[in-house]
Amino acid sequence: MRIFVLNGPNLNLLGSREPAIYGLETLADIELLMRTRADKLRVDLEFFQSNHEGELVDAIQSHRDWDGLIINAGAYTHTSLAIPDAIASVGIAAIEVHLSNVYAREAVRHHSYLSPIVWGQVVGFGFRGYLAALDLLYGRLTNEASG
């Protein structure tokens, strides 16, 4: 099974970016933790981060044959139609992750353009949310009938 992990703008600065909100773990730390878990599940992971909307769209399109997508689109969550359009266009199963509890923050962060086309959201659990998303996506992809 192949799962693509996609991170959007400013997530390359994790570790130093507003640590009280986003935690002290870097994106590389999160990748290592996810790879350790994925190895146990025998899942192939690929990671990509970009600060550019079009590059995120290109990355989704080029993973059209993959089994699943874990996406933290950063601020594009609240502004981009092109990213959910790309996910819907390729029909990849997706889970949306946010490190912070966006629903406890400014109103502009309460709306996600991704929410209608993802299987679900993992929100507010910091880096652990990525690990939960991996388990959730793997679980449903391997035993979809159980919901």
Residue 142, classed as helix, strand or coil, is helix
Residue ranges with strand state E in the chain = 2-7, 44-49, 68-72, 93-98, 120-123
Task: Say which residues have a Cβ less than 8 Å from residue 74's Cβ, sequence separation at least 6.
Answer: 7, 8, 9, 10, 11
Is 12 a binding residue for ligand DQA by CB under 6 A? The answer is: no
Residues shown for the chain: 147
Q: Is 98 an annotated catalytic residue?
A: yes
Give residues with Cβ within 8 angstroms of 125, minimum separation 6: 99, 132
Binding residue count for ligand DQA, defined by CB under 6 A = 10
Residue from 22, 76, 130, 138 carrying the catalytic annotation: 22
- The answer to whether residue 100 forms part of the interface with ligand DQA (CB under 6 A) is yes
The minimum distance between CB 128 and ligand DQA, in angstroms, equals 12
Instruction: Spot the catalytic one: 76, 98, 130, 138.
Output: 98
Kindly write out the interface string for residues 18-57 of this chain, putting x where it contacts ligand DQA by CB under 6 A and - elsewhere.
Answer: ----------------------------------------
**Shortest distance in whole angstroms from residue 95 CB to ligand DQA:** 13
Contact 112, 121 (CB under 8 A): yes
- What is the contact surface with ligand DQA in residues (CB under 6 A)? 10, 72, 74-75, 77, 98-100, 102, 109
Residues carrying an active site annotation:
22, 98
